[in-house]
Chain A
Amino acid sequence: MIDALGAPQSVLVLGGTSEIATAVLDRFSAQRLRRVVLAGRDPAALQVIAQRFRSNGVAAVAVETFDAADTDTHESLLDRVWAGGDIDVALLAFGVLGDQRAAEADPGLAVDWARVNYLGGLSLGLGCARRLREQGHGVLVLLSSVAGERARRSNFVYGSAKAGLDALGQGLADALHGSGARVLVVRPGFVKDRMTRGLPIPPLSTTPAQVAEVVTAAIASGRGTVWAPPALRWVMLVLRHVPRALFRRLPI
């Protein structure tokens, strides 16, 4: 159960090696965490992270293998996870940024990434939402992106999938209203981690630990959409309304 101050006891991470997700678990494991399921592609890498939380005192840490693009396998994955008990927080943390120029040259690549970023999110988001509704409590956390809030020349292939995921999250939030379960849509800006390694660092960049702080605070306060860093909310509010001709020339 998530307690009155927002600390969960069981967490499912889809995209178990994600740096942002690991930072979120770091915060939870200092609170009430008893059970973690790390689901991802690479069992060896997942085991390393699992070991870290075991030695942090989390009683039950399990590893599951799955591919976000392989939607046919998702239901059975979630069945296995829920067979072990309720999930207080389900965190959808998988995603691929991809190389925008490469995708423009080879649409097949864009489709592959959209399978992960959008279709994978759709399939697992719906699957988790149904189970959270049944158990009558819990939070589904979707890692969206400001890239989905206003499409940008530099990463709109990724952004278009995140826009779809974000819309899914907003809709699910309404669908789950009154069910005891809720949805948290997180819109990070540029996070300095392995996903963005080598890219030029823009202003208002943040770190996995800071995103994690925003996520845990939002789970405690019950907010539905948050930005990381929080100031991006106001930046994006402005950017959404900047005329296209001007927006195109902004150095972002």
Chain B
Amino acid sequence: MSEPPVSRGPAASDAGLTRSLLTGWGRTAATAARVLRPSTVEQVRDALQMVRAGGPAPSRGVAVRGLGRSYGDAAQSAGGTVVDLTGLDAVRDLQVREGDALLTCAAGASLHDLLRLLVPQGWFVPVTPGTRYVTVGGAIAADVHGKNHHRDGSFASHVESLSLLDGRGEAHLIGPQSDPEAFWATAGGMGLTGVIVEATLRLLPVQSSWMLVDTERAANLDDLLDRLSSRDHLYRYSVAWIDCLATGRSAGRGVITRGEHAPADALHGRATARAWAVPSGPLVSLPGPLPAGLLNRASVAAFNEAWFRKAPRHRAGELQPFPRFFHPLDGVGDWNAVYGRRGFLQYQFVVPIQREDTLREVLARLRGARVPSFLAVLKRFGPADPGPLSFPRPGWTLALDIPAGLPGLAGLLDECDLLVAEAGGAVYLAKDSRMRPELLSMMYPRLEEWKGTRDRLDPDRIFRTDLSRRLNL
């Protein structure tokens, strides 16, 4: 089975020298780079060769970009070359054997396209982040996690093998068995070990496109942590939303949603006729950056309150279309413009299971600073995979969006970083746009090991991103 490769833009060879301004999803710290959009692996190779051979600004390096859903500066490279991989999105092969399926696709394929293709055939991607508009390459490079991390681990744990063009232009077929060192440096390696051009993933069988969802409310943080600790293992998917602005006895109150893929015999009502429904594109879009001040503490607090009240105290077995369960924000295109011209950031960290004290303290500081944040996401991670730069590790992860223009934010987050690092936790690089480089080796103790492998794969350091410059990676 295969899809014809689609070409949507100029190929590497005929792209000019004009530069484009790029940012991550948070729309902060724009920088300019020459963007190439190859549509074949050959063209990717040519682009790398051109950078190595001293084409325009070779010292500024080359960055790989997927759908730009990392929040900060991971997929841009000031003054350099950016290879946009979304033109390489063909599905090459789907092999089904005894209830198992292996999918081989180009790294620029999006989870959105894959789900549209796979779900009607009874397969699901093994891990999906909170948006399906990410590429397979981006999902591996950030080793993304989903609501099933406690049970299934992160994205790279489901990758059989991948094909990597390294910094010398050499192609490698690597996997957790063949060259695990290169594989695990690439998983979570933020695009700095080479270009992932193709990957083979193990899929999850499903009997419908629907989810069976249980919802419950938790009155405060203790209650929430208790419920997550004691019952997460009963579900494949689990996540909680915290109202960061609630205070007093309600501090840390939240709503837990957990679910499973609905088996065929669980469908009823309208779900029966639409057992294999898949989403199209976004339904609505924002007109552009909204005026600053629209999101203030009062409006956000009112939203959070209404949202908490709306959630059922307890509801079991609700049928939900999978996009509503996994990707609630994907229905609105470019929703990131809601934060206005200054943009926003997402602060996501993890602390070990026994360090609820740190989680509590960080939440208290955010609350104390009256950070106008919509709901924060809380999840309990399961075991880590072997990637030295991979973010998930056993513990609690919290993620929240914050407007970049909030006064005092830099100092507040620096304090939180310190608490997190001292507790043996980490900040997620795919979300970061501001952390202190000195903390990186504390948060990622195997940083030097990773650098060693990176130096083997990219001895001349042709892969450079604004993130790698900022964090001295």
Contacts and interface: CB of A to CB of B under 8 A. Distances in A.
Closest 9 pairs between A and B when the two form their complex, measured CB to CB = A136-B79, A180-B32, A4-B433, A4-B28, A136-B78, A137-B78, A137-B31, A1-B470, A136-B32
Interface string B400-411: 000011000110
B342 interface: yes
Nearest to A182: B30
A35 to B, nearest CB: 11
Nearest to A180: B32
Contact of A180 (B21, B57, B341, B345): B21
Interface string B28-56: 11111100000000000000000000000
B434 A179 contact: no
A5 B469 CA distance: 16
Interface in A1-21: 1-7, 9
Question: Per DSSP, are chain B's interface residues mostly helix, strand or loop, or mixed?
Answer: loop
A218 to B, nearest CB: 12
B372 interface: no
Interface in A105-140: 134-137
A73 interface: no
Select the residue from B32, B72, B80, B409 with max chain A CB neighbours within 10 A. B32
Given A136-B32, A178-B32, A4 B78 contact: no
A127 B172 CA distance: 44
Nearest to A134: B79
B417 interface: no
Interface residues on A, range: 20 to 34
B19 interface: yes
A7 B410 contact: yes
B436 interface: yes
A176 to B, nearest CB: 10
A137 B341 contact: no
A9 B31 CA distance: 15
B342 A222 contact: yes
A222 B345 CA distance: 16
B470 A135 contact: no
Nearest to B30: A180
Contacts of B341: 222
Interface residues of B, number: 32
B470 A9 contact: yes
A111 B405 CA distance: 43
B73 interface: yes
A167 to B, nearest CB: 25
Interface string A150-176: 000000000000000000000000000
B146 interface: no
A79 to B, nearest CB: 14
Contacts of A2: 29
B343 interface: yes
Contacts of A4: 26, 28-29, 72-73, 343, 345, 404, 433-434
A2 B343 CA distance: 15
Given A1-B78, A136-B79, A180 B31 contact: yes
Nearest to A9: B470
B227 interface: no
Interface in B406-447: 409-410, 433-434, 436-437
Interface in A62-93: 86
B19 A5 contact: no
28 contacts: A1-B31, A2-B29, A3-B29, A3-B433, A4-B343, A4-B345, A5-B404, A5-B410, A5-B433, A7-B434, A86-B78, A86-B469, A134-B79, A135-B79, A136-B19, A136-B32, A136-B33, A136-B78, A136-B80, A137-B31, A137-B32, A137-B466, A178-B19, A178-B32, A180-B21, A180-B31, A181-B32, A221-B342
Contacts of B32: 136-137, 178-181
B297 interface: no
Contacts of A181: 32
A179 B26 contact: no
A32 interface: yes
A222 to B, nearest CB: 7
A31 B21 contact: no
B215 to A, nearest CB: 34
Nearest to B28: A4
Contacts of A6: 410
Contacts of B29: 1-4, 137
A137 B77 CA distance: 9
B54 to A, nearest CB: 15
B79 A1 contact: no
Contacts of A135: 60, 78-79
Given A2-B29, A136-B19, 6 more contacts: A5-B433, A32-B436, A136-B79, A137-B31, A180-B30, A180-B79
Interface string B199-240: 000000000000000000000000000000000000000000
Contacts of B405: 220-221
A135 B466 CA distance: 11
Nearest to B343: A4
A175 to B, nearest CB: 13
